[in-house]
Structure 1
């Protein structure tokens, strides 16, 4: 009791605060997303995401080298093909854009961990994450036939050099199907980072600009989760663990820190939080207007994800955060 107990004693200097800090953000926690497009010498900034670019494979390699030099251990690749169709051919073809980028990065920076996003919405002509019933205009994806597409995609990405497969399409049974496909193809040591709790969120808007993946009709609420549900997230997580997931993802992060905490409470697997495009864009927009201190707000936000239980953080802030963390050291 006061005056014997004075919590301020441990806040007196920066060194003292650093000594007793409970949650420490490091570059080891970060994963940097990259968007691969066809061509050469292409670096097109995404208007709704300042500082984020669609990059051709040669530019992806340059960025990957920079990421590695900053001490960030991993990137995750998304692809934008030159053509799209109902079979999502660009997702699983051996010459797909993510496959080309994965191979090039592993050749140039072999120690950098390459994660391949395993989804289909960027590659389908209708913008949904799998097969649709012929004539369907609601966006209701056919679950079981889509599993075969995801399996083919994952195997193709692993063959191209991807170290980790990250399925994000929220199909029932997708972890089991992909695990089976990888094992049968000889990739039994390739881990799966499952988007286990992925919500139908309004925070994804800028990403759909970057990945050119907006659905042409309907929405994704028949397969992505309702934002009001928490118990359902734990059910999804438990199913993915039982199906063989090695790591788990919660997406988005900022409005779902309670979900990150709950997921971490029920599993010993590594938990990743996806600091999504809308969260990034809000900080960038406010900073560009001079309304906030970008560095402090970004690092505070990323630290809060880790405090909530995240072991890994996918974030478009990764390169800036790595530089700022180096300055602190």
Structure 2
């Protein structure tokens, strides 16, 4: 780090914090997955509060503990889960932007509501692009501060710009703030293998509750409950899409997420509405999960509204 560099110094890395942008696309044929923010809606709000481009890089803070020292003056925004953020010891509410200057200390505590917070900075963090993206994917060893897929470490420096004067602080209207509390219903679009599962299996899926398992991560959300009957299809491995619901031999569904492998051979019930996956990213292990059906056209309409709203 040069003496003139401006940005943020990592004092404590916390539980698990990653640099993310909108994701890495166009390389799945090479076995490279997308990455990107688990709660893409919260990340989009952080960039909107700062008038950043939709693919500006930010930090995804999982479960808190991250502490940063400001080495610049700029506007930042914090959205997503309430991880008890303090600035110089003073509590700061999420879902708004505010001014920080040299010497300020930002610290994320343990989650109060939600599980992942997003810290954006005016103009985005300046880290190297790898295959056209700054998104950190540990499994692929791509992206992040040094470009090798590592989570933030003590002593890392995240370069960012400097603003000559304080900007206008903004706050997201309350009607747009998501509710991260309580159980969650995931809407599923049945896929082309739906008829390989019995009628009784589909009834069980829609009627019984599951729990979000502690083994869940950025690759996939693992659910636990009464096992579903997984068909024996003798499948070859095939491409895996975001939000696909696999049912392995143990009958416990796995929802494939941002850092999923690009190929898989387990039978698939269908795909979850991506908006529900964003909400799933904010649930802690032990959360009660239920499934409900949704038609393809209805799901497409909801996703179009989201994409248009954020100009994606």
- Compute the TM-score of the two structures, normalised by the length of structure 2: 0.25
Say which structure, 1 or 2, has more relative contact order (CA 8 Å, 6+ apart): 2
- Compute the TM-score of the two structures, normalised by the length of structure 1: 0.24
- Structure number having the greater helix percentage: 1
